[in-house]
Structure 1
Amino acid sequence: MNKPLISLAVATLLLSGCSLIPDYQQPPAPVAAQWPQGQAYSATAAADIAAAEQGWRQFFRDPALQRLIESALVNNRDLRIAALNIEAYRAQYRIQRADSLPAVSADGSGSRQRLPADVGQTGSAGISSQYSATLGVSAYELDLFGRVRSLSQQALETYLSSEQARRSTQISLVASVANAYLTWQADQALLKLTEDTLTAFEQSHQLTLRSNAVGVASALDLSQSRTAVEAARVKLAQYQRLVAQDRNGLTLLLGSGLPADLPAGQALDAELLSQVPADLPSDLLQRRPDILEAEHLLKAANANIGAARAAFFPRISLTANAGSLSPDLSGLFGGGSGTWLFQPQISLPIFNAGSLRASLDYSKIQKDIGVARYEKSIQTAFQEVADGLAARQTYQRQLQAQRDLVDANQDYYRLAERRYRIGIDSHLTFLDAQRSLFSAQQTLISDRLAQLSSEVNLYKALGGGWREHSDQAAAMPKTPAEG
C-alpha cells in the first residue's frame, strides 16, 4: 500500500522544474526625469516637503469636507464594487494556486447487483457485491515546464492589479467628493452674492421710481433699473437650481444622505487645502495606482507567455490511490483486502494546426499591448501633473488680479452712487457700476473654485499624495493567504 504513495512523493519533488516565463524587465518611463521648467513653476524648499501633510485628511483641511469623504469611503457603491472585485480575484488566485499541489480525496463505494441465469458465468442467477475505500489523488499534473506556475503567477498579478484598481477608485472618489463639495460651496457663495445684489438692485429701483415720479429720472432710467432687477432674479433662480443639484450630486457620491453630524464648512477663500510641493521628481509617478495596475497587468501578460510556451511540451499527470476492496462489507478492512493503483499519463502535442503557435503569438502580442498601455499611463500621468503645476502660479496671479479688479469696481460703484445721488452723473453710469461690480464678484468666486479644483486634481494626479517610496512599500498589497 505504501509503494504508490512513495512514488507520488518522489514525483512531487519534480515541481521545482524549469520556468518558461520570460525575464521581466520594467519598461523605461517615456517621460523626462523632471517636470518642465518655466515661469509657471516655483521651487519649494525641501523643508516644505517634509512639513507637508501626506494623507487626504491632512490635505483637505475643511472639517465638513473631511466628514463627507469619510462617509463616501464607507458608503460609495463604486468603491464597494472595487473592493469586492479584489476578493473575487483573490479567490481566483487561490483556486489557480491550488492546482500546483495534489488534491487528496477519500472515496468509498458499494454495489450489489443481481445477474440472471442466462448472463451469469455460472449459468445460474446470483447476486454479486463489491465494497471499496480508497485514499489518493486523481489526474495531478506534474508541473515540469512551469505551466501551472505560470498560470498561478498570472492570477497573482491580476489580483495585485485589482488592489491598485481599488486604490485608484478610492483616490478618484476622494477627488470627486472634494470637487463636488467645493462646487457646492462656490454656488452657495454665488447664491448669497446674487441675493445681496438683488436687494441692492431693488433698492436702487425704488429710488429710481421715486425720482421718476418727481420728474428727475426718465422713463429710460426706470426701464434700465427694472432690467437690472429682473436679470438678477434670473441669476438667483439659476443659482438656486445649481445649489440643489450640487447637493444631489454630492449625495450620490456619498452613497447615502448628508451626515447628520456634518460640521460647518469653511469659507471658500479660507485655506481649504494643503500646499503640494512644486519641486517633485517625476519618478513619483511610479506610485500612482493606475500605473501600478498597468504594470501588474503587464506582468500577468508576461506570465501568460510562460504558460503558452509550456503548452508545447508534454503534460504528465498522475492518478494514484491505495485502499481496501472486498466483496463483503464486513471484510472491507480485513487482512488481504488491500489494493492500490498507480496510473501515470502523458500527453504530447503532435499536430494542432498551428493552434499552440498562435496562442504563443497571441500572448506575446498581449504583452506588447500591455507595454504600450503602461507607457501611455505614465505619459498621461506626467501631463496631468505638469498641467497642475503649470496652473498653480498662473491661478495665483489670476486670482490676485481679479481681487484687484473687484476692489477697483467697488470704488467705481461707490463713486458712481454718490455722484448719481447728488445729480452729477446719469443713472446709466450708476447702473453700469452696479453690473460691473456684480460681474467681477461672480468671476472672483468662479476663479477661486477653478484654482481649488486644479489643486485637487493635482493631488489626484500625484496618486493621492507625495510620500516617499519607503512609505509606499509598506502600503503595497500582500500576497493573499492560500488557506
Structure 2
Amino acid sequence: MMRKTLLVMGVLVFLGGCSLAPKYQHPQAPIPDTWPQGEAYKNAQTISGIPTARELSWQDFFTDQKLRKIIETALNNNRDLQIAALNVEKARAQYGIQRAELLPALDTSGAWSKQRRSDDLIDPGDPRTVEQYSVDLGIASWEIDFFGRLRSLKDQALEAYMATEQARRSTQIMLISEVARAYLTLAADRENLKLARSTLESQQTSYDLILKSCQFGLSTEIDLRRAQTQVDAAQRDVHRYTQLEAQDQNALNLLAGAPVPEEMLPADLSSVAPAQEISSGISSETLLNRPDIVAAEHRLKGAYAYIGAARAAFFPRISLTTSVGTASDELSGLFGSEADTWNFAPQIVMPIFDARIWAALRISKADRKIVLKEYEKTIQAAFKEVADALAVRGTIDQQVAAQKALVGASSETYRLSNKRYTLGIDDYLSVLDAHRSLYSQQQTLISLQLTRVANQVNLYAVLGGGDK
C-alpha cells in the first residue's frame, strides 16, 4: 500500500505544473533612443576610448585616495546599506518559505496515552485502564499545485527577492555618490571659509587705515562706517562658513557610519584629485541596466505572477494527508507484524460562489497596471537625471572660464577703485561696490567649481556606476 501511495503522490507532483499567469512581455521604454541634442549638449558628446560608468568600478572612478578610504568606511559601516542588506536576507528567506510550499512536509510523531474508564461505559471483562502506543510518519495537508497557484506565489516571492537585491545595489550607488558629494561640499565650504577669513583680514586692514585717516581729518565718517560694514559682513561670513563646515563634517560622519579623522578631510577643492572621465554611451538603453530600473522590472514581473495566483483561486484546490505507522496497546508490540497502520485522505475544495475571488483578480490586474506605470516613470526619471547631468557637463566648463574672467575683471576694478580713492579722485563708495562685486564673484566661482566636480560624480551615479 505504501508503494501505491508514493506512486500516486509522484503522479500528482508531475501533473501539478501548469501556470495561469499571463506571459510576461518586456514593455517598450518610454524614452528616446538617444540622449538629447542641442546647444547645451555640444560639449557633452561621447568620446571614443572613454569607458562607460558601468565599465568603471568606483575604485577606478575616484582617484582621490582619502575619498576612497572614506567610501570604504561608509560601505562597511553605513546603517542604511546594512539595512538594505538585511532586507535582502529577509526577502531571500521569504522566497525560501514560499518555494517550500511546493514540497510536502514530512513529519514523524510518537504518542502514548493511558486512560481509566468508568465501569458503566465498558463491557464486562474489559479492563478499566487502557494504554496505547503509536508511531506515525506522514504528510499533513499538502496542496497539489495543479493550477499553479503556489508556483505563481513562489515566482512573485522570487521577483520580490531579486528586486530587493537590486534595491541594495541602488542604495550602494546612492551612498557612494552621497559620500563623494558631502566630501566635495566640505572642501568647497572650507575654501569659502578661507576666502571669508582672507577678506576679513584685508577689510580689517582697510578699516584701520581709514580710521587713522579719519582721526587726522583726511577721511570722512561715512567712509569709516562704509568700511565697517565690510568688516562686519566678512565676520558674519566667517561664522556662517564655520557653521557649514561643522555641519558638512557631521553629514560626512553620518554617511561614513563612524567619525572621519581630520587628516582624511580635504583642505579645499583644489586639493581633491579629479575623478576619471566617463562616457554616457550612444544609446539611452544603457539606463535599463540601472539597479532601480531593474528592480522596478522585477516588481512588474511579480505583478504578472500574482495574476496567475489570483486566477488559480477560481479552480479546485486538492490537498493530501497521508501517514504510515504502528500502534499497539503494549510498548513491546509496537513494531509487531500486526501493528502497522496507514491513512490516505485526499481532499478537494471547489469554489462555487465567492465574490472576494473576483475582487482579488481585479486588484491583481490593477496592480500590474500600476507597477507598469511606476516602471515607466522610473525610466523617465532616470533619463531626465542623465540629461540634466549631461546639460551641466556640456556647459559648466564655459561657465567656469567666464566666471574666472569675471573674477579677474572684478579684481582689477577693485584695485583701480582703491587706487583712485587713495589719490582722492573717488570716494570710498566706489571701493565698497568694487569689493562687494569681487567677493561675490569669488564665491560664485567656488560654487561653479563645486558644481563641475559634483556633477561628474552625479553623472557616474545616474548612469548606474558604483555597484561593483
Q: What is the TM-score when the length of structure 1 is the normalising length?
A: 0.91
**Alignment of 1:190 onto 2:192:** yes
Secondary structure of the residue aligned to 2:96 is helix
Q: CA contact under 8 A between 1:64 and 1:265: conserved in structure 2? A: no
Q: CA contact under 8 A between 2:183 and 2:266: conserved in structure 1? A: no
Secondary structure of the residue aligned to 1:48 is coil
Query: Offset of 1:444 from its aligned partner?
Result: 0.6
Matched residue, 1:289: 291
More displaced, 274-283 or 387-396? 274-283
Matched residue, 1:343: 345
Structure 2 regions of 5+ residues with no counterpart? none
More displaced, 93-102 or 431-440? 431-440
**Alignment of 1:319 onto 2:348:** no
Are residues 45 and 66 of structure 1, via their aligned partners in 2, closer, same or farther at CA, if it must alter by over 3 Å? Answer: same
**Alignment of 1:61 onto 2:63:** yes
Are residues 57 and 413 of structure 1, via their aligned partners in 2, closer, same or farther at CA, if it must alter by over 3 Å? Answer: same
Secondary structure of the residue aligned to 1:49 is coil
**Alignment of 1:148 onto 2:150:** yes
Q: CA contact under 8 A between 2:214 and 2:220: conserved in structure 1? A: yes
Are residues 452 and 267 of structure 1, via their aligned partners in 2, closer, same or farther at CA, if it must alter by over 3 Å? Answer: closer
Q: Which amino acid aligns with 2:148?
A: G
Q: Which amino acid aligns with 2:248?
A: D
Are residues 245 and 233 of structure 1, via their aligned partners in 2, closer, same or farther at CA, if it must alter by over 3 Å? Answer: same
**Alignment of 1:372 onto 2:373:** yes
**Alignment of 1:386 onto 2:353:** no
Query: Offset of 1:148 from its aligned partner?
Result: 0.9
Matched residue, 2:181: 179
**Alignment of 1:411 onto 2:398:** no
Q: CA contact under 8 A between 2:52 and 2:278: conserved in structure 1? A: no
Trace 1:107-122 onto structure 2 (pairs within 5 A): 107-122=109-124
**Alignment of 1:400 onto 2:401:** yes
Matched residue, 1:363: 364
Query: Offset of 1:390 from its aligned partner?
Result: 1.1
Are residues 168 and 53 of structure 1, via their aligned partners in 2, closer, same or farther at CA, if it must alter by over 3 Å? Answer: closer
Pick the aligned partner of 2:166 from 148, 164, 167.
Answer: 164
- Distance (Å, rounded) in 2 between the aligned partners of 1:245 and 1:263: 13
Are residues 259 and 342 of structure 1, via their aligned partners in 2, closer, same or farther at CA, if it must alter by over 3 Å? Answer: farther
Aligned residues: 466
Query: Offset of 1:83 from its aligned partner?
Result: 0.9
Matched residue, 2:454: 453
- Distance (Å, rounded) in 1 between the aligned partners of 2:331 and 2:110: 11
Q: Which amino acid aligns with 2:402?
A: A
Q: CA contact under 8 A between 2:46 and 2:282: conserved in structure 1? A: no
Query: Offset of 1:383 from its aligned partner?
Result: 0.9
Secondary structure of the residue aligned to 2:326 is strand
- Distance (Å, rounded) in 2 between the aligned partners of 1:303 and 1:52: 30
Post-superposition Cα deviations, 1:454-477, rounded to whole Å, max 9, x if no partner, equal 332222221226xxxxxx9xx8xx
- Distance (Å, rounded) in 2 between the aligned partners of 1:71 and 1:99: 41
Matched residue, 2:232: 230
Q: CA contact under 8 A between 1:316 and 1:345: conserved in structure 2? A: yes
**Alignment of 1:305 onto 2:316:** no
- Distance (Å, rounded) in 2 between the aligned partners of 1:52 and 1:265: 31
Trace 1:132-147 onto structure 2 (pairs within 5 A): 132-147=134-149
Secondary structure of the residue aligned to 1:138 is strand
Secondary structure of the residue aligned to 1:118 is helix
Q: What is the TM-score when the length of structure 2 is the normalising length?
A: 0.94
Q: Which amino acid aligns with 2:185?
A: T
Post-superposition Cα deviations, 1:424-458, rounded to whole Å, max 9, x if no partner, equal 44333333332222111111111222233333222
Secondary structure of the residue aligned to 2:131 is strand
Matched residue, 1:83: 85
Matched residue, 1:481: none
Q: Which amino acid aligns with 1:457?
A: N
Matched residue, 1:32: 32
Q: Which amino acid aligns with 1:399?
A: V
Q: Which amino acid aligns with 1:336?
A: E
- Distance (Å, rounded) in 2 between the aligned partners of 1:252 and 1:28: 40
Q: CA contact under 8 A between 2:187 and 2:268: conserved in structure 1? A: no
Q: Which amino acid aligns with 1:199?
A: E
Q: CA contact under 8 A between 1:191 and 1:236: conserved in structure 2? A: yes
- Distance (Å, rounded) in 2 between the aligned partners of 1:447 and 1:261: 26
More displaced, 243-252 or 118-127? 118-127
- Distance (Å, rounded) in 1 between the aligned partners of 2:297 and 2:374: 9
Query: Offset of 1:96 from its aligned partner?
Result: 0.5
The sequence identity of aligned pairs, in percent, is: 48
Secondary structure of the residue aligned to 2:111 is strand
More displaced, 152-161 or 337-346? 337-346
Are residues 198 and 265 of structure 1, via their aligned partners in 2, closer, same or farther at CA, if it must alter by over 3 Å? Answer: closer
Secondary structure of the residue aligned to 1:67 is helix
Matched residue, 2:437: 436
- Distance (Å, rounded) in 2 between the aligned partners of 1:143 and 1:218: 96
Are residues 124 and 116 of structure 1, via their aligned partners in 2, closer, same or farther at CA, if it must alter by over 3 Å? Answer: farther
Q: CA contact under 8 A between 1:68 and 1:259: conserved in structure 2? A: no
More displaced, 295-304 or 391-400? 391-400
Are residues 222 and 259 of structure 1, via their aligned partners in 2, closer, same or farther at CA, if it must alter by over 3 Å? Answer: closer
Q: CA contact under 8 A between 1:147 and 1:311: conserved in structure 2? A: yes
Structure 1 regions of 5+ residues with no counterpart? 466-471, 476-483
Pairwise CA RMSD: 2.1
- Distance (Å, rounded) in 1 between the aligned partners of 2:285 and 2:463: 10
Are residues 260 and 445 of structure 1, via their aligned partners in 2, closer, same or farther at CA, if it must alter by over 3 Å? Answer: closer
Secondary structure of the residue aligned to 2:40 is coil
- Distance (Å, rounded) in 2 between the aligned partners of 1:169 and 1:106: 45
- Distance (Å, rounded) in 1 between the aligned partners of 2:272 and 2:399: 17
Q: CA contact under 8 A between 2:214 and 2:221: conserved in structure 1? A: yes
Q: CA contact under 8 A between 2:207 and 2:228: conserved in structure 1? A: yes
Query: Offset of 1:271 from its aligned partner?
Result: 4.7
